[in-house]
């Protein structure tokens, strides 16, 4: 029969309490580490989701500009059109610089020679 009250026993005295405290402390540290890791993953996922929605808004702005242009005319896509499409379709507020960068990247990938980008800043009086 086991003697749970023996001086060297894991089950007796304060050793059980100390073992539980160490176990609890390690568990808390692991939970905090996991929480930080999970929050970082969620933040990265949200950023990627917003980036993909902006790319979709750029695609739609180009598509609408192509459909409204007369045959043979140069298609002009404005940064404001991208910002408006992002806000209207996805309730996504993007800066002018973000919209311009996404539009430049999309046109670089498409290599669209019949598309022009209007990047003039309307606030710039120079």
Better-predicted residue by pLDDT, 44 or 15? 44
Q: Is 1 a domain residue?
A: no
77 contact partners, CB below 8 Å, separation of at least 6? 61, 62, 65, 103, 107, 115, 116, 117, 118
Residue 4 lies in a domain: no
**Cα–Cα distance, 23 to 59 (Å, whole number):** 54
pTM: 0.65
pLDDT digits (tens, 9 = 90+) for 57-112: 999 999 999 899 888 888 888 999 999 999 999 999 999 999 999 998 888 877 65
Q: What is the pLDDT of residue 44?
A: 95
Q: Domain residues for 105?
A: 15-118
Q: What is the tally of structural domains in the chain? A: 1
Residue 5 belongs to a domain: no
Is residue 21 assigned to a domain? yes
What would the pLDDT profile of 1-35 be if each residue is shown by its tens digit? 455 555 555 555 566 667 667 767 767 767 777 78
């Amino acid at each position: 029969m086991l003697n749970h009250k023996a001086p060297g026993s894991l089950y007796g005295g304060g050793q059980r309490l100390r073992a539980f405290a160490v176990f609890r402390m390690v568990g808390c540290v692991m939970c905090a580490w996991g929480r930080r890791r999970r929050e970082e993953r969620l933040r990265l996922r949200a950023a990627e989701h917003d980036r993909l929605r902006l790319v979709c808004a750029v695609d739609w702005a180009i598509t609408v500009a192509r459909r409204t242009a007369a045959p043979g005319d140069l298609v002009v896509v404005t940064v404001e059109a991208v910002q408006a499409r992002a806000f209207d379709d996805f309730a996504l507020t993007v800066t002018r610089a973000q919209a311009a960068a996404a539009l430049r990247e999309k046109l670089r990938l498409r290599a669209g020679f019949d598309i022009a980008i209007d990047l003039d800043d309307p606030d710039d009086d120079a």
